[in-house]
Amino acid sequence: MAVFSGLLALDSSPKSSQVEKIRKTGVERTKEEWKKILSPEQYRILREAGTERANGKVYLEFKNQGAGTYYCAGCNLELFSSKEKFDSHCGWPSFYDPSKAKNVKTKVDYHLGYPRTEVVCASCGGHLGHVFTGEGFDTPTDKRYCINGTVLKFVPLTDVKIGKGNSPKGEK
């Protein structure tokens, strides 16, 4: 894994055509490297902006998780915590705010033909889900970060040992 400071871009040269370059503290990996560290479903969601099935096994597990922290499955960056978790009854994990705002980025997504606000990991650029506002939830922000649970690594509060970079158990 390498750190790169540049824009998300695909170079047209044969060797680097599959290398994603991410802004700021981002990770640089080839398509093959991503496929080695992610499950096929995680790859489809994080790298191809897919969506997991609503109300699936991962969502049921999420609903039963207690206190803890949620990290990016692609790069181990801290994204959300159980403190901001709430049940929106939408079939996907929901949070009213990230645990560390600088660790998530948003951008406009037109994949369905109309604008939505996509949520991505600030480090690896992986697609996490979408954020919706003004839905009337009784939360401090009236936002719903609708996140694919498959791309989150949950670490129970009793297991969290933060090292450099705020990754679980000192991973980088």
The enclosing domain of 137 has a CATH number of: 2.170.150.20
Q: Checking DSSP bridges between strand 104-109 and strand 116-121, what pairing results, if any?
A: antiparallel
Place of tokens 């540049």: 6
Between CA 104 and CA 125 the distance in angstroms is 9
Whether residues 67 and 12 fall in one domain: no
Q: Is 72 a catalytic site residue? A: no
Measured between alpha carbons, how far apart are the two ends of the chain, in Å? 9
**Is position 166 within any domain?**
no
Which positions ≥6 away from 78 have C-beta within 8 Å? 69, 70, 71, 99, 100, 103, 162, 166, 167
Whether residues 24 and 85 fall in one domain: no
Whether residues 95 and 20 fall in one domain: no
Whether residues 86 and 145 fall in one domain: yes
Whether residues 39 and 6 fall in one domain: yes
- φ/ψ of 56, rounded to 5, equals -85, -175
Percent of the chain with pLDDT over 90: 69
Whether residues 77 and 155 fall in one domain: yes
Whether residues 10 and 65 fall in one domain: no
**Is position 11 within any domain?**
yes
pLDDT per residue as tens digits for the range 60-81: 999 999 999 999 999 999 999 9
**Is position 148 within any domain?**
yes
pLDDT per residue as tens digits for the range 70-128: 999 999 999 999 999 999 999 999 999 999 999 999 998 888 888 889 999 999 999 99
Whether residues 42 and 70 fall in one domain: no
Q: Which of 125, 144, 124, 123 is nearest to 133 (CA)?
A: 144
Does pLDDT of 169 surpass 70? no
Supply the range of the domain harboring residue 41. Answer: 2-48
pLDDT score of 161 = 57
Between CA 160 and CA 110 the distance in angstroms is 37
Q: Checking DSSP bridges between strand 127-133 and strand 78-81, what pairing results, if any?
A: unpaired
Whether residues 87 and 104 fall in one domain: yes
Whether residues 34 and 117 fall in one domain: no
**72, 75, 124, 146: which is the annotated catalytic residue?**
146
Number of domains in the chain: 2
Mean of all residue pLDDT scores within the chain: 82
